[in-house]
Amino acid sequence: MQRRDFITSSLGAGAAALTAFSGSHAQSQEAAATAAAGSTSPKFKLKYGPHFGMFRNHAGKDPIDQLKFAADQGFHAWEDNGMMRKPPELQTKIGETMQQLGMTMGVFVSMGIGGPDFVTKTDKGYQDNLRKSMAKAVETAKRVNAKWTTVVPGKVNQRLEDEYMMANCVKNLKVMSEVCEPAGLTMVLEPLNWWANHPGLYLVRIPQAYMICKAVDSPSCKILDDLYHQQISEGNLIPNMEKAWDEIAYIQVGDNPGRKEPTTGEINYRNIFQWLHKKGYQGVIGMEHGNSQKGKEGEEKLIAAYRQCDDF
């Protein structure tokens, strides 16, 4: 099932959020004009990864055209939660196009939100199915040149103590890691917020994910830190990244409230991106959010917001 349903309607965020810093405003205006003209922009400092549909008003419905438009605007990464549902031929074409454009493929979802089985079952039949699922993920990863795949360990079992759920989760992730390690594919475990979007999920906080990854002890089991979710779940974003840094393999963003592009909410993404850059982060920053405004104007506003936050 699809893990998220992005809302693309406007929240009335307005362009005022982009004019808070006059020095960045001129650059933002230039980026928006460039997007409208369709010309090539300089690459961003970090690998911000849009997703299909984010620039459909400028690029049209064709996924290949959307990739090319994003590359022209300076983006050199991409992600697609639904990649495994696409035909293999299209997956291959996407992978080849991204390679030609010099773009890095980010995450796709191999295990979305399910029931409590993942923290409950460890029998052979269940684990054999996990192996089959990850084998399919490995094949998808090969076609699109992906290094990371998102895993969400399902919901809590309200009739089982936390410690048993933890042990079962670790056992199952070890089985999945055995499939991923030889292929060089890394499962990234994503804690999702309980309060606004996903009540009842097992994995909610970064320290919890850190503990699980330490217990699994595999290079193929790491953390996806979605800063939108973690702002809601626990806040203290940079210190928590620092504490869990050796297990974090992937970052996703979205402002809060609203889950739209940076500058539309309360998170200071310019500071966070600067911190990641100084940290030497070379991975993808997935843009897992909606556009705060509709149409081409909303897409231009989004690009300008990333130009502003990338200006450090």
Is residue 1 predicted with pLDDT exceeding 90? no
Mean residue pLDDT across the chain = 91
Q: Each residue of 180-232: pLDDT tens digit?
A: 999 999 999 999 999 999 999 999 999 999 999 999 999 999 999 999 999 99
Let me know the angle formed at the C-alpha of 302 by 297 and 303, rounded to the nearest 5 degrees: 100
Answer for the pair 95, 144: CB distance below 8 angstroms, yes or no.
Answer: yes
SS3 breakdown of the chain: % helix, strand, coil, rounded to 5?
50, 10, 40
The whole-angstrom separation of Cα 100 and Cα 206 is: 35
The whole-angstrom separation of Cα 182 and Cα 140 is: 15
Name the pairing type of β-strands 108-111 and 148-151. parallel
Position 18, amino acid: L
Domains of the chain: 39-309 (3.20.20.150)
Handedness of CA 128, 124, 185, 223 (dihedral sign): positive
The whole-angstrom separation of Cα 165 and Cα 148 is: 24
Q: Which of the residue ranges 4-18, 125-139, 148-162, 169-183 would you say has the lowest mean pLDDT?
A: 4-18
The whole-angstrom separation of Cα 153 and Cα 167 is: 12
Could you give the C-alpha distances from 236 to 96, 240, 272, in angstroms and in order?
39, 6, 11
- Tokens encoding 259: 């889950």
Phi-psi map region of 60: left, alpha, beta (phi>0 left; psi -120 to 50 alpha):
left
Question: What band does 304 get if pLDDT is binned at 50, 70 and 90?
Answer: very high
State the angle between helix axes of 237-244 and 269-279 in degrees (0 to 180), rounded to the nearest 10: 20
pTM higher than 0.85: yes
Q: Each residue of 250-296: pLDDT tens digit?
A: 999 999 999 999 999 999 999 999 999 999 999 999 999 999 999 99
Question: What band does 3 get if pLDDT is binned at 50, 70 and 90?
Answer: very low
The whole-angstrom separation of Cα 55 and Cα 296 is: 8
Is residue 237 predicted with pLDDT exceeding 70? yes
Could you give the C-alpha distances from 213 to 80, 95, 138, in angstroms and in order?
24, 29, 20
Handedness of CA 73, 79, 83, 89 (dihedral sign): positive
**In this predicted structure, what is the pLDDT of residue 245?**
98
